[in-house]
Amino acid sequence: MSISDSKQKWNETVAKNIAGSPERMDPFLTTSNIEMERCFTPGFDYPGYEEQLGFPGGYPYTRGVQPTMYRGRFWTMRQYAGFGTAKESNERYKYLLSAGQTGLSVAFDLPTQMGYDSDAGMSMGEVGKVGVAIDSLADMEILFDGIPLDKVSTSMTINSTAAILLCMYIAVAEKQGVSADKISGTIQNDILKEYMARGTYIYPPKESMRIITDIFAYCKDNVPKWNTISISGYHIREAGSSAVQEVAFTLADGVAYVDAAIKAGLEVDEFAPRLAFFFNAHNNLFEEVAKFRAARRIWAKIMKERFGAKDPKSQMLRFHTQTAGCTLTAQQPDNNIMRVTIQALAAVLGGTQSLHTNSRDEALALPTEDSVRIALRTQQVIAYESGAADSIDPLAGSFLVESLTDQIEKAALEYIDKIDKLGGAVEAISRGFQQKEIQDSAYAYQKAIEKDELIIVGVNKFTVKEPPPTGLLKVKEEVEIFQKKSLGEMKAGRNDAAVKIALADLEAAAKSSDNLMPYILASVKAYATLGEIADLLRGVFGKHTETVVL
């Protein structure tokens, strides 16, 4: 297809997407009254552009997965939140929604992430500390009380226990009168990066991959609007990887999940449209923009050429972005507002589908309401005031950005090839390959700071003497006492016989090849606890032991 034919086809697609609001594609004026087109296109505005760059919303999606991008609608503004009890977190969600947030993002405490109830010995001192404590469906009902799940999209950052939390969410929706096919959202459900970079795994890789593919299969038929996995580069970058490693290791994990699903009997176009990704937005503005563009292009080619995906939605890399927690400093915390602004701008210029902006005080404690509001307002100022969303692909044609995109793509593909030669992501992780690469990158980054080769404002340059921080949010010790008491009361009031039957059925399913999701859902509805379900599966599947990298 010629450039002119491609442009004609793109114009037709745009016309369909903006039907009823054609003014959203009219040229716009800068603050200096310079008239600008909404989108610069290859072969028209910049003769000689490489044809592979394509158009927004078209293969290989370098320029975005939607033809009109933010001219159709803004990205979802989804602030990550959760702490203490379900009631406290519910109040924070309602506050955020009232402040203009357009989607929820749930943070769970470590016991919930690791499959322990609040009264377990392993949970002592951690209940409600880094997220909300969820022990059973009763907590989940409180967490979403008064929040209509047919109108709000919810992302849940949960991995080893993702199947359990998703079943709880489905059950809460049903209690609201909302069927599973009407709810939308995402579970992270990315266990490979846990082995590689984060550590909240429970079961061995083979068994974990089975749970994930069971979720794919179940949601395909029962929860079709749900993103069944958010393949995460965020935590890989937080652990110290470079931008190239973040792209390479994330997409290699994506290949492993697609392979596993196909081996489990699923057709690629049955599940691939619901795969989503999660990336970090770090400090280097143009490198981050190029990273997002390169990731889209690589994934489109992988899905089309390697897996034969025919549905365009299977080829699209849709992603959520969070600004970089690892860049936040305890020193001069107000500087974090500027860092987050630059990182959020990179995500928007890079074409993210949803965005979380970190709060200024997160290097010190959980964010206060004032800090969360500033973080959300940062997104809103970028959306409504900066002009960054006026053009569909504002940095297209930048020699710097296009060159960086090509270089990141080339280097990432070299890593993916190495991982393939090691036997794929799972085998490479078992050998410690990715872990060692991340550790080396993190060490080099820290040494550069210590040698003043990399300047961190307020840390190794422009330092000041500061008083101890005040006004920080702290989770009270009473939260653990309250949660244990509530859990005991719930257990005393439930039908124990129904719980035993549901758990026995789940155990039998785990020992067979049956899809686990219907049995987990039945256990959740009987008010079996998260810990009881996770413990049962530990008994059947065993526990993973970490690979030590020397």
SS3 377: helix
Q: Residues in the chain, how many?
A: 550
CB 77 within 8 A of CB 434: no
Closest to 104 measured CA to CA, from 153, 140, 142, 169 = 153
- The pLDDT, as a whole number, for residue 545 is 87
Number of neighbours of residue 399 by Cβ within 10 angstroms:
7
Eight-class DSSP state of 368: P
Closest to 137 measured CA to CA, from 510, 494, 536, 548 = 494
CB 261 within 8 A of CB 248: no
CA angle at 195 for the pair 161 and 329, rounded to the nearest 5°:
95
Sign of the Cα torsion 440, 442, 445, 449 reads negative
Sign of the Cα torsion 389, 392, 397, 399 reads positive
Closest to 72 measured CA to CA, from 155, 15, 28, 153 = 15
Residue type, 284: N
Closest to 349 measured CA to CA, from 392, 297, 407 = 392
Q: What is the Rg, in whole angstroms, of the alpha carbon atoms belonging to the chain?
A: 23
> In angstroms, rounded to a whole number, what is the distance separating the alpha carbons of residues 22 and 80?
34
* 441: phi then psi, degrees, rounded to nearest 5: -65, -45
Taking every pair of Cα atoms in the chain, the longest distance, rounded to a whole number of angstroms, is: 73
CB 97 within 8 A of CB 147: yes
Eight-class DSSP state of 313: H
Would you give the distance in Å from CA 8 to the centre of its chain?
35
> In angstroms, rounded to a whole number, what is the distance separating the alpha carbons of residues 92 and 435?
36
Ramachandran area for residue 47 (φ above 0: left; ψ -120 to 50: alpha; else beta) = beta
Residue for token pair 């400090």: 283
Q: At what angle do helices 530-541 and 496-511 cross, to 10 degrees?
A: 30
At the topology level, CATH places domain 69-386+399-450 in TIM Barrel (3.20.20)
- The pLDDT, as a whole number, for residue 290 is 93
Residue 514, beta-bridge partner list: none
Number of neighbours of residue 447 by Cβ within 10 angstroms:
11
Residue 439, beta-bridge partner list: none
> In angstroms, rounded to a whole number, what is the distance separating the alpha carbons of residues 38 and 30?
11
SS3 185: strand
Closest to 243 measured CA to CA, from 297, 177, 182, 295 = 295
Number of neighbours of residue 279 by Cβ within 10 angstroms:
28
User: Within 13 A of 515's CA, how many CA atoms are on the CB side?
Assistant: 20
Residue type, 286: F
- The pLDDT, as a whole number, for residue 299 is 98
- The pLDDT, as a whole number, for residue 47 is 46
Eight-class DSSP state of 366: B
CB 495 within 8 A of CB 503: no
- The pLDDT, as a whole number, for residue 48 is 45
Closest to 323 measured CA to CA, from 535, 123, 156, 78 = 78
> In angstroms, rounded to a whole number, what is the distance separating the alpha carbons of residues 549 and 82?
33
Would you give the distance in Å from CA 263 to the centre of its chain?
25
- Residue ranges in the chain modelled with pLDDT below 70: 1-3, 28-32, 34, 40-52, 547-550
Q: CB-based contacts of 497: which residues, under 8 Å, 6+ apart?
A: none
Closest to 176 measured CA to CA, from 194, 151, 153, 155 = 151
Predicted TM-score (pTM) above 0.85: yes
Q: Rounded to the nearest 10 degrees, how much is the dihedral formed by the CA atoms of 200, 202, 205, 208? A: -100
- The pLDDT, as a whole number, for residue 469 is 87
Domain with CATH 3.20.20.240 in the chain: 69-386+399-450
> In angstroms, rounded to a whole number, what is the distance separating the alpha carbons of residues 275 and 264?
16
